[in-house]
Structures are given as C-alpha cells and as structure tokens.
Amino acid sequence: MISNANKNPDGGDRPETTADAFLGGRIDVVQYKAGHRAGSDAVFLAAAVPAKGGESVLDAGAGAGTAGLCVLARVPEANVTAVEIDEAQCALAKTNAVRNGFEARFRAIAADLTAPSKVLGQAGLIREGYDHVMANPPFYAEGSVRAAPDASRAAAHVMPQGELERWIRFLATMAAPKGSLTLIHRAGQLGSLLEALKDRFGDLAIFPLFPRPEAPAGRVIVRGRKNSRAGLRVLPGLVLHEAGGAYTKEAEAVLRGGTALSLDGSRV
C-alpha cells in the first residue's frame, strides 16, 4: 500500500484523508487519515474470494470499500455490495467506486448488519441473494483490549460480546444456497470463529498467514460453503515476510500483482 495525504482544501472541519494505492496501483482508495484504515488484510481477504465473472459478492463491514474494489479489479463482470454501519465510511466507499471506474458494479449500503431481517431488507439487502459473502470482522472482544480513542477505529477493531455470532448469522442469511464464505481474522480467535460457523458453513479451509518463517500465524483466512457437510482442512498457508523483513515473492504476487489465493496452497 502506497499512501499520499490530502488536507482539507477549504480549511473546514472535514477530516483529512489519504489516497492509498493497492494492487500495485491498480486500485486507488481514499481513506480517513485517522480512524479505521484498510491494509494488507483487505487485500488477502479479497484474493481468497472464489468469485467468477457475473457472480455477486457481499462485503460485510466494508469500511471504505477496499476489499470489494480489489475483488472487482481481479474479477471482470463480478458485482459487489458493500455493507457498512458508519455512514461516512459508506460515503467514501461510494466515492472510491467512482474513483476507480467501478460504480456500475459496486453498491454501498449504510446498515447495521445485526439489525432485524426486515430492516436489512428495507435497506436493500437480499436474503440468500449473494454467491459469495466475505468479511474482516473486528478482531478483539470487548474488554480484552483498551479501545482506541477514535470511535470509528474502536468500532472497527473491538466487537461487543456475542457480536461475532451475529455477524456469522447475517452472513449465513445473505449467502445463497451453497454460497461461499470468506473471512480473515486473528489466529487466536479461530476457536470462537469455528464455533460460530458450526451448523451454518461446512467444507471449511483454514489458511494461516505467517508473519515470517518459523513464526506462529498471526492471521487466518477461513473459507467455507453454506450448509455443506464436508469436513475441515488446515492448509499450509503463506509466509508474508522473509527473515530480513521484505515480502516474500508469494505475498508480493497477491499484494501488488493481484494474484488470487486458491486456498489449496496454489495461486491462480
């Protein structure tokens, strides 16, 4: 990710933004300088979504739309619906779709994904209407870490008790029959994540992301299929950094080359 700061030109109270390049410059995303900001997690999440041309993808908790835009850059003729509770972030997502020429294939909806189904339907979300659902949920349970002073950043990183279950329920409700689910989360939360997925998604593939050789995984990508009875597979995963700190060539291929992750250890 390459970032350039943009000050508010009229000197008003609007927060400052940065213009950040993803996928080696194929995507240019405006984000708030303070608060929640997308980074490599969004790119790896998007790379693992098995979407094909003409299929629909739902991005839950989409922020400024980075992950969805990365999907659109990789998959011609796919369509993305982004759901984001923060109206300012949702507005940025719409701006970013136009900025990257994807407005015809990208829709952003400001909604609380834990709201009742009737409310979500009124907002424009379609029950069992998406071939693929994806999310980068808040990583920390409420009370386990000190919340950030910035409200939007805190909401993006800290999840109230029981909230993960509600996120998974929402994703299961929105996924089409046999639709795919792709999540990225902290490796330490894998147990809670698998418990929430139980009886909703099967054929689960666990793809660890290792920060460097010989280090424990920091993140895991989890992919599954709605209502599948197939079992769980733990895959070799991906090492992100060489011992000296540079990205591995495999990580570079995803982050800058826009290569997909097949979640079987190969890249397509």
Domain that holds residue 150: 38-255
Residue ranges of the chain whose pLDDT lies below 50: 8-12, 142-148, 150-157, 265-268
Q: Based on the structure, what is the number of domains in the chain? A: 1
Let me know if residue 22 belongs to a domain: no
Residue 148: per-residue pLDDT: 44
Let me know if residue 6 belongs to a domain: no
pLDDT digits (tens, 9 = 90+) for 10-52: 444 567 989 999 999 999 999 998 777 889 999 999 999 999 9
Separation of first and last alpha carbons in the chain:
22
Strands annotated E in the chain:
2-6, 17-22, 27-32, 56-60, 79-84, 106-110, 130-135, 140-141, 158-159, 175-186, 201-210, 219-226, 233-234, 238-239
Partners of 58 in the β-ladder: 81, 133
| Distance, CA of 42 to CA of 36 (rounded, Å) | 12
Instruction: Tell me 261's DSSP state.
Output: B
Residue 126: per-residue pLDDT: 97
Tokens at 142, concatenated = 């409420």
Residue 239: per-residue pLDDT: 97
Let me know if residue 12 belongs to a domain: no
Instruction: Tell me 247's DSSP state.
Output: B
> Residue with structure tokens 């291929």?
253
Let me know if residue 18 belongs to a domain: no
Let me know if residue 267 belongs to a domain: no
Let me know if residue 221 belongs to a domain: yes
Residue 147: per-residue pLDDT: 46
Let me know if residue 49 belongs to a domain: yes
Residue 259: per-residue pLDDT: 96
Residue 140: per-residue pLDDT: 52
Note whether 218 and 186 are within 8 A (CB): yes
Residue 14: per-residue pLDDT: 62
Q: What is the CATH number of the domain that holds 93?
A: 3.40.50.150
Nearest to 204 by CA among 216, 191, 217: 191
Phi, then psi, of 204 in degrees rounded to 5: -80, 135
Let me know if residue 177 belongs to a domain: yes
Note whether 114 and 171 are within 8 A (CB): no
* 222: three-class secondary structure by DSSP: strand
Residue 11: per-residue pLDDT: 44
